[in-house]
């Protein structure tokens, strides 16, 4: 009887699953059809204003999925190149009279924000207007919005303009208190990804590098703001020191804002600019009309190969870099005769050393057949720099975080905790090193020595790869390596990059190396998701994350994620010292 019950339950479960999937399919078709209909309703008339709101995530690469389930549950996000192309098209679109920046926050990295801002500066060369409005300006939002001819805020708003900071957490006392620790093996005095497990306070070397790159990025931001607001860098630094933009009145008095008005009054200003009631066209809608790409009938192509996210061992997708998808893409690019050159767009803090080396090898083979130019985004550090170092030319944004040429390994150890709880681990093995490492026993000197040997070997290989790719000596690279982090501006001075510029500059350089003038770009890797993968984005899959955020708060949740991330690292790592959150 139990057997028949189980069979019946299994059949019933399968039937319900089929019904559910079928229902979702029909529901999905309705949604997709509806969305297509909505696209047809988007109109750009002669009195249009393009509204830029970057509250949704901005990624370097947001490949579109063919799966209908992905279309139903996809997260709102922009691809950086679509934003740049939309602004370029708006510049030449007679129906677009100007741009309105209407952000509360800018959900993009510093380098991405700078790229968008530079494109807005270019937009202004047409004589078209740019205005900005917000209830309150975060620092990054103000940096972007400062490009506008006029900047407005709600009367009770202000500007968070105070300089940059970065905070690190240290866990040494926590480890000693609870008997849970991370065993650390590293090379590089600046490789401070693991410093929090070894010390209770920041080392002088780490403080030096953080101070250096924060000041480098800040100087880049205030120089741009100074030009747009007709102020000196010295004036801006005094304003930041004394918080002279903390309310709307003070910000206007110090010429950081042009007026304190309500949203309806701002809308009247837009109407005045266009000479009629302004037709507001959102950036998302403008992209949906096809303005997120530059049309071309050219047969020659330049491939843009995106390396986005942590470098991990595995397949890879738009959220992390895996050797399988990258190697497959590189070989397809190499075999495609229409592709004349390649731009490797790197936005990665690094990760697994093995994966980085496998990708490096494929790029080395590719470079022998086609020009290879690197464009660095927000991050191109450690393993991210490793895969970039052999390119013909390396471009970086001034605010790119790069370098971090170093290696480390971390292994969790619970021996003290186990001892305190009365747990004893015993092992049986056939050979001296059969067991290797046990998290329930103190790390042995033999294991440490063998692992340290591996770290040193990978570090030496890393430095040699950079030396060969950058035409430098081992000692020259070692002097700027040791795990130290640099900005793109600093990296140019020490020889780790060749030119400061954005991805479009890199594409133009690749075309020049390939000796072509008429071309179009094509994106890689191409990702195909299994049916099971399509359900990973369902809303109920993210309930746990949302609950944790609500209970712990955003900042505490970030700290928890960082600790969990570090504890899950496997193998020797070429990774940025830490998650850099610049505010």
Render pLDDT for 441-454 as a digit per residue (tens, 0 to 9).
888 888 888 888 88
Marked catalytic residue, from 145, 216, 382, 415 = 382
The neighbouring-strand residues paired with 57 are: 77
Task: State how far the Cα of 191 lies from the Cα of 185, in Å rounded to an integer.
Answer: 10
> What are the sequence ranges of the domains in the chain?
45-162+243-291, 301-540
pLDDT tens digits for range 248-291: 999 999 999 999 999 999 999 999 999 999 999 999 999 999 99
Q: For the domain bounded by 45-162+243-291, which CATH number is listed?
A: 3.90.226.10
Task: State how far the Cα of 557 lies from the Cα of 553, in Å rounded to an integer.
Answer: 6
Q: Which residue has the tokens 């770290």?
A: 455
Task: State how far the Cα of 527 lies from the Cα of 562, in Å rounded to an integer.
Answer: 27
Q: Which residue has the tokens 């100074």?
A: 226
Active-site residue 111, yes or no? no
Q: What is the pLDDT of residue 178?
A: 81
Marked catalytic residue, from 119, 181, 191, 291 = 191
Quick one: fold of 301-540?
A: 2-enoyl-CoA Hydratase; Chain A, domain 1 (3.90.226)
Active-site residue 191, yes or no? yes
Listed in sequence order, the residues at least 6 apart from 106 whose beta carbon sits closer than 8 Å to its beta carbon are 54, 58, 113, 138, 140, 141, 144
Q: Is the pLDDT of residue 124 over 60?
A: yes
The pair of three-digit structure tokens given for residue 518, joined into one six-digit string: 């008429």
Do the two domains 45-162+243-291 and 301-540 of this chain adopt the same fold? yes
Instruction: Report which of 207, 63, 103 is spatially closest to residue 525, judged by C-alpha positions.
Output: 63
Q: Which ranges of 1-74 does DSSP label H, i.e. alpha helix? A: 2-40, 68-73
Handedness of CA 329, 331, 336, 342 (dihedral sign): positive
pLDDT tens digits for range 170-213: 888 888 888 888 877 777 666 666 787 888 888 888 888 899 99
Cβ–Cβ under 8 Å, residues 318 and 33: no
| pTM as predicted | 0.84
The pair of three-digit structure tokens given for residue 272, joined into one six-digit string: 């005045």
3-state secondary structure of 243: coil
pLDDT tens digits for range 319-338: 999 999 999 999 999 999 99
Average pLDDT over residues 346-355: 94
| Rg of the chain, C-alpha, whole Å | 26
């Amino acid at each position: 009887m139990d057997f028949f019950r189980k069979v019946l339950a299994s059949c019933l479960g399968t039937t319900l699953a089929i019904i559910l999937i079928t229902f979702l399919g029909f529901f999905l078709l309705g949604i997709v059809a509806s969305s297509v209909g909505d696209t047809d309703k988007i109109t750009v008339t002669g009195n249009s204003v393009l509204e830029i709101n970057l509250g949704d995530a901005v990624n370097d690469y947001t490949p579109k999925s063919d799966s209908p389930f992905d279309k139903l549950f996809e997260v709102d996000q922009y691809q950086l190149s679509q934003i740049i192309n939309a602004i370029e098209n708006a510049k030449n679109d007679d129906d677009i009279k100007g741009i309105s920046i209407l952000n509360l926050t800018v959900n993009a990295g510093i380098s991405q924000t700078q790229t968008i801002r530079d494109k807005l500066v270019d937009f202004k060369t047409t004589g078209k207007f740019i205005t900005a409005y917000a209830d309150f300006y975060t620092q990054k939002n103000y940096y972007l919005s400062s490009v506008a001819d006029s900047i407005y805020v709600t009367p009770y708003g202000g500007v968070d303009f105070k300089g940059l900071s970065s905070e690190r957490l240290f866990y040494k006392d926590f480890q000693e208190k609870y008997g849970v620790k991370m065993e650390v093996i590293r090379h590089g005095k600046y490789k401070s990804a693991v410093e929090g497990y070894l010390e209770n306070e920041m080392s002088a070397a780490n403080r030096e590098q953080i101070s250096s790159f924060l000041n480098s990025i800040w100087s880049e931001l205030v120089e741009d703001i100074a030009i747009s607001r007709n102020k000196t860098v010295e004036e801006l630094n005094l304003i930041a020191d004394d918080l002279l933009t903390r309310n709307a009145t003070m910000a206007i008095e110090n010429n950081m804002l042009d007026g304190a008005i309500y949203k309806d009054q701002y809308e009247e200003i837009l109407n005045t600019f266009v000479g009629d009631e302004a037709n507001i066209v959102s950036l998302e809608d403008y992209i949906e009309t096809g303005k997120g790409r530059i049309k071309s009938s050219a047969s020659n192509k330049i491939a843009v190969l995106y390396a986005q996210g942590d470098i991990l061992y595995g397949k890879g997708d738009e959220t992390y870099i895996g050797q399988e998808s990258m190697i497959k893409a590189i070989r397809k690019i190499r075999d495609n005769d229409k592709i004349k050159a390649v731009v490797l767009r790197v936005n990665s803090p690094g990760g697994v050393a093995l994966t980085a080396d496998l990708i490096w090898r494929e790029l080395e083979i590719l470079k022998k057949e086609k020009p290879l130019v690197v464009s660095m985004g927000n991050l191109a550090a450690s393993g991210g720099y490793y895969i970039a170092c052999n390119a013909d030319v390396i471009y970086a944004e001034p605010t790119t975080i790069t370098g971090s040429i170093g290696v480390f390994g971390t292994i969790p150890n619970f021996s003290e905790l186990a001892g305190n709880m009365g747990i004893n681990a015993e092992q049986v093995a056939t050979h001296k090193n059969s067991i290797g490492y046990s998290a329930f026993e103190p790390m042995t000197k033999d294991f440490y020595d063998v692992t340290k040997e591996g770290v040193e070997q990978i570090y030496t290989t890393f430095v040699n790869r950079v030396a060969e790719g950058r035409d430098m000596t081992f000692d020259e690279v070692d002097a700027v390596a040791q795990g130290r982090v640099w900005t793109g501006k600093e990296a140019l001075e020490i020889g780790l990059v060749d030119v400061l510029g954005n991805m479009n500059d890199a594409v133009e350089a690749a075309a020049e190396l390939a000796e072509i003038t008429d071309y179009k770009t094509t994106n890689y890797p191409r990702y195909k998701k299994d049916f099971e993968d399509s359900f990973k984005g369902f809303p109920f899959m993210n309930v746990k994350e949302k609950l944790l955020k609500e209970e712990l708060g955003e900042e505490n949740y970030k700290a928890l994620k960082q600790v969990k991330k570090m504890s899950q690292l496997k193998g020797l790592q070429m990774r940025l010292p830490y998650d850099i959150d610049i505010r």
